[in-house]
A and B are shown apart, each in its own frame.
Chain A
Amino acid sequence: QQQVKQSPQSLIVQKGGISIINCAYENTAFDYFPWYQQFPGKGPALLIAIRPDVSEKKEGRFTISFNKSAKQFSLHIMDSQPGDSATYFCAAPPVNRDDKIIFGKGTRLHILP
């Protein structure tokens, strides 16, 4: 079964700083590596995803960096804002079509005002 290791568990960043969350996976045969964002009292929602044929994808202040050889991908939040305070989950696609999708354990991000 796929294992996904996410770090750190929690993160405190000053407003305007860079938040970095990392994710490592074991194996995959499929094509998307996403990050989900969860605000208190809400369900997780897709934030940004990357295909492994590119090394970086940027959407506004959010960037995914992908290192295929190391089987790692990370989320960078530039100019972090208090509104970015949330829990972030990475996920790895299944190895086989009927495998479970595995989420990381989450990173609780708090941006200090």
Chain B
Amino acid sequence: DAGVIQSPRHEVTEMGQEVTLRCKPISGHDYLFWYRQTMMRGLELLIYFNNNVPIDDSGMPEDRFSAKMPNASFSTLKIQPSEPRDSAVYFCASTRHLATINTIYFGEGSWLTVV
């Protein structure tokens, strides 16, 4: 399997613009996670899905952030409008079983810079 695939790898955008990050999880994985990583806050869980259904979005910072999972092989994280403080690395990850956490697989991340 190719692993978790994220796009774009790098994105530079101007403040106020819409940003859409994309993720393809590993086939057969029931859980998909979106994380944000910054120096100050470390690795933060934004939202996660089970079988395409959002389970917990309490980590989403504000209404400017939204995530969807229209099918088992695709998810998006959207920021509209973007702000400089959204600059971070956004990781998508997937796993087959939530309780057996040693099977979480991360993508290589989307590096977002908002200027």
State the CA gap A93–B97 with chains docked (Å).
11
Q: Chain B contact residues: over half helix, strand or loop, or mixed?
A: mixed
Please count how many residues in chain A sit with their CB below 8 Å of the partner chain's CB atoms: 25
Q: What are the interface flags for B17-33 relative to A under an 8 Å C-beta threshold, 1 for contact and 0 otherwise?
A: 00000000000000000
Given A103-B42, A103-B43: A43 and B108 interface contact (C-beta under 8 Å): yes
Q: Is there a chain A Cβ closer than 8 Å to B14's Cβ?
A: no
Proximity bits, A1-25, B CB within 8 Å = 1, else 0: 0000000000000000000000000
Given A43-B91, A103-B42, A105-B42, residue A30 in contact with residue B102 (CB < 8 A)? no
A98, B53: Cα distance in complex, Å: 13
Give every chain A residue within 8 A of B59 (Cβ-Cβ).
100
**Residues 29-44 of B at the A interface (beta carbon under 8 Å):** 41-43
Query: Which of A36, A97, A100 is close to B48, meaning CB atoms less than 8 Å apart?
Result: A100
Distance to closest chain A CB from B22 (angstroms): 15
B15 within 8 A of A: no
Interface residues on B, range: 20 to 34
Q: Which residue of A lies closest to B92 (CB)?
A: A43
Query: Which A positions have Cβ atoms within 8 angstroms of B?
Result: 30-32, 34, 36, 41-46, 49, 89, 91, 93-94, 97-98, 100-106
Cross-chain pairs A/B with CB under 8 angstroms, 30 sampled: A32-B101, A36-B104, A41-B108, A41-B109, A42-B108, A42-B109, A43-B91, A43-B93, A43-B106, A43-B108, A43-B109, A44-B91, A44-B106, A46-B102, A46-B103, A49-B102, A93-B100, A93-B101, A94-B98, A94-B99, A97-B98, A97-B99, A98-B50, A98-B55, A98-B98, A100-B48, A100-B56, A101-B98, A101-B101, A103-B42
B residues neighboring A (CB under 8 Å): 4, 41-43, 45, 48, 50, 55-56, 59, 91, 93, 98-109
